[in-house]
Structure 1
Amino acid sequence: MATEIFHTIEAKGIRATLDLRVGHIRRLVVERDGKSLEPLNSAPWVDDAAIIEDETLLPNLRFLSGDFFCAPFSTSDVVEAPPHGWPANSRWRVLTVEAHPEGGTIARYELERDVLGARLIKEFTLRDGHPFLYERHVFIGGSGAVPVANHAMVRLPTGGTLSFSEKRFAFTPETPLEPDPAMGRYALAYPSRFDDLSAAPLKDGGTANLTAYPFAQRHEDFVALVEAAAEGLGWAAAARTDQGDLFVSLRNVAELPLTMLWLSNGGRDYVPWNGRHVGVLGIEEGRTYAGYGHRASTHPNPLTEAGVPTALVLDPDGEVSVGNVIGAVPLPEGWGKVARVSANGGLLTIEGEGGGRIEFPFDADFLGTA
């Protein structure tokens, strides 16, 4: 179903709705085992006319929801564009919708602006019986390099347990998201670097456990996790015990070597936030120098010196793309942390830290890690 604002696609057991005004996923709903799973968050003001009609606010903020693609990720200080780029702030048009040959739907959308001269295509695939949205973003032509990221936001109203594929190290940037106490608050130390996700340094001393959300109240924080492996399947999982589901994010670590966490728990006091964006975790899969912006990501930096790519190089005579998979599955009774996630043939296997495993249909070829 298509309207001027939203476009929805479906397959058996799953549906996704894209907000065409800004390219944000407004809803992702998985129907499985008699449950309706809807892990993504929409900001509490997305239907507030006073906010959405206020053009002094960035479109990305007015319609903040679900998941969106950033190019560039963070500050746009190379070409004129808002933070997170035009893909997260301007309109997309529906190009094609077609049936998947093995059951399901493939939809393609085109950004109405260019990115460094490139045409950008958003491709969504839903497969019958698969509890996942397969996302691909394709840059056709263009020149230069751009940091990119998918920017999923999970709703954790009563908290949750987080698990990740093995990380090399984690760090916070030089400056917190809200350094001015008149505007907001933060809890972590900036800058910092650490190896143990259960012992992230706090600004006032002590440590926080990043695998348990929330670790503090009324704060905004950002931390980047660098993948240990240079290739293969990277994953993040958020167990929402109160909702009985497990949010899963999957990627090829050679394409997207960072997982960035935006811990948004009521730490901003100005419009449109007004202290009401609470219990939200951004799980942002990227190829970027964290939150340092376009210019820093395309020049030598500490990550590139460590062999971690921080920007996507465009091809003037061809195309380049990045893929990401997000979804939700029922959470087995008694599960908290996930021990490992693996893709084999047509299945994704998720193993619990306390034992047990669950399996789901999965296109292991999509990310190129099979």
Structure 2
Amino acid sequence: MPAVSSPALVAEENAPDSAAAIAGPHWRLSWDRGHADVLAIGAALHNLAFRLENGSTVEPLAEAPWIGEPSVVADASIPPHLRQLGGEWPCVPFGTTIVDPHHHGFGTDNAWHVVERSADAITLAIDYPENHPIKRLERRIEGVSGEATVAIELTVEARAECVLPIGLHPIFKLAGEGRRMRLDPGPFTQGYTFPKVFEPGVSRLRPGAEFSTLDAVPLADGAADLTRPPTGLREEILQLAGAAGSIRLDYPDDGYQARLDWNADDFPSLVIWLSDRGRSAPPWSNRFRGIGIEPVNGFFDDTRLAPQRPKSVSPGRKFRAGERWTTQYRISASSLDAGNHKGPAK
């Protein structure tokens, strides 16, 4: 595809109000059922808004309250993806690895360039360093006409043969204080808690435990029902192996449900990261609320945990030198009748 050269398509000159806090180049997508902003850093999707069939507007993705704060923008010690935490972005490789100094990969913390753009779609790309086993990423984000849906396509071009953990990183909103939320990941083969205490002094899930249903995840004492987050938990992470490739998040008091659909062959596990003001270090300062719903091919977000990986869980995707691999996924929303909603099947 030809590179876009028109200055009007390089960055928005007048950012919409919802994007006022965004620092750096970004682009607005609009279609008949929604709008969103796409940032150059990480090609991250932010400020996603859907117009539902009943006419209401919902914004299902979380956004960090510190986005745009001058002290955070100016702090080079904070990784770029953390300065603008929220929304959704791809992670190649996923988490901490020995081949890439960036947590969640080079593409997470660096600027992508526009390949092609229209009012309702954008394609971006980023070239990786010459010593990296990955050569290039391309990402297309498109608002689906007539639907409260964004369709996303990610293409990974490998430079060298390698096995790398890869993942997607949407962060959805937690329901407001005193409001209900219900999580239905569909069937999965086995669940795992983080092999060690995730956030010392805060996390309560029993480290290195296994479970078979999301409504009975082992705590140090008892069990937690994570079909109804946050259930008093503040900072936790767990993984569902053999995930079905679709998850529903219901917000009955807000009248809608959100969905994430992906190819389960490409990402056979689902990492769920729950953060409810559980981290105190800057810029977190006990302010962030969100739930990461992260399809992955790998084990959690740190390859140093590989010795504790169950044999049934893949260490990552095997890439061939010169291979171009593409995966597709969708984020969507629809209205929900709170009065008749009885929650997800157990």
- Corresponding position of 1:139: 156
Task: Select the residue among 328, 335, 342 that pairs with 1:323.
Answer: 328
User: How big is each residue's C-alpha offset from its partner over 1:308-337, in whole Å with a ceiling of 9 and x where there is no partner?
Assistant: 433122232330122221121111233243
- Corresponding position of 1:38: 59
d(CA) in 2 for partners of 1:172 and 1:112? 35
Contact in 1 for aligned 2:97/2:302 (Cα 8 Å)? no
Counterparts of 1:1-370 in structure 2 under 5 Å?
A: 2-3=11-12, 5-32=25-52, 33-77=54-98, 79-98=99-118, 105-114=120-129, 116-143=133-160, 144-156=162-174, 157-158=176-177, 159-179=180-200, 181=201, 185-203=202-220, 205-217=221-233, 219-227=234-242, 234-278=245-289, 280-293=290-303, 302-303=309-310, 305-306=311-312, 308-333=313-338, 334-339=340-345
The aligned amino acid for 2:146 is: G
Contact in 2 for aligned 1:162/1:210 (Cα 8 Å)? yes
d(CA) in 2 for partners of 1:336 and 1:277? 29
The aligned amino acid for 1:154 is: F
User: How big is each residue's C-alpha offset from its partner over 1:268-309, in whole Å with a ceiling of 9 and x where there is no partner?
Assistant: 11101111113x11111111112332x666xx8744x32x43
Q: Cα distance, 1:42 vs. partner? A: 0.7
d(CA) in 2 for partners of 1:160 and 1:253? 24
User: How big is each residue's C-alpha offset from its partner over 1:73-112, in whole Å with a ceiling of 9 and x where there is no partner?
Assistant: 11122x232111112111111110248xxxxx43210125
d(CA) in 2 for partners of 1:214 and 1:130? 29
Q: TM-score, normalised by structure 1?
A: 0.80
Q: Cα distance, 1:192 vs. partner? A: 0.6
Q: TM-score, normalised by structure 2?
A: 0.86
d(CA) in 2 for partners of 1:72 and 1:43? 23
The aligned amino acid for 1:257 is: P
Contact in 1 for aligned 2:252/2:337 (Cα 8 Å)? no
d(CA) in 2 for partners of 1:117 and 1:286? 17
- Corresponding position of 2:5: none
d(CA) in 1 for partners of 2:157 and 2:246? 27
State percent identity of aligned pairs: 23
d(CA) in 2 for partners of 1:221 and 1:244? 27
Contact in 1 for aligned 2:93/2:100 (Cα 8 Å)? no
Q: 1:166 to 1:152 in 2, by over 3 A?
A: same
d(CA) in 1 for partners of 2:216 and 2:191? 10
d(CA) in 2 for partners of 1:26 and 1:112? 22
The aligned amino acid for 1:61 is: L
Contact in 2 for aligned 1:289/1:301 (Cα 8 Å)? no
The aligned amino acid for 2:237 is: F
d(CA) in 1 for partners of 2:100 and 2:262? 29
Structure 1: gaps spanning 5 or more residues: 100-104, 340-352, 354-370
Structure 2: gaps spanning 5 or more residues: 1-8, 13-23
Please identify, of 238-247 and 252-261, the stretch whose mean Cα deviation from structure 2 is larger. 238-247
Q: Cα distance, 1:243 vs. partner? A: 2.1
Contact in 2 for aligned 1:262/1:281 (Cα 8 Å)? yes
d(CA) in 2 for partners of 1:118 and 1:322? 17
Aligned residues: 318
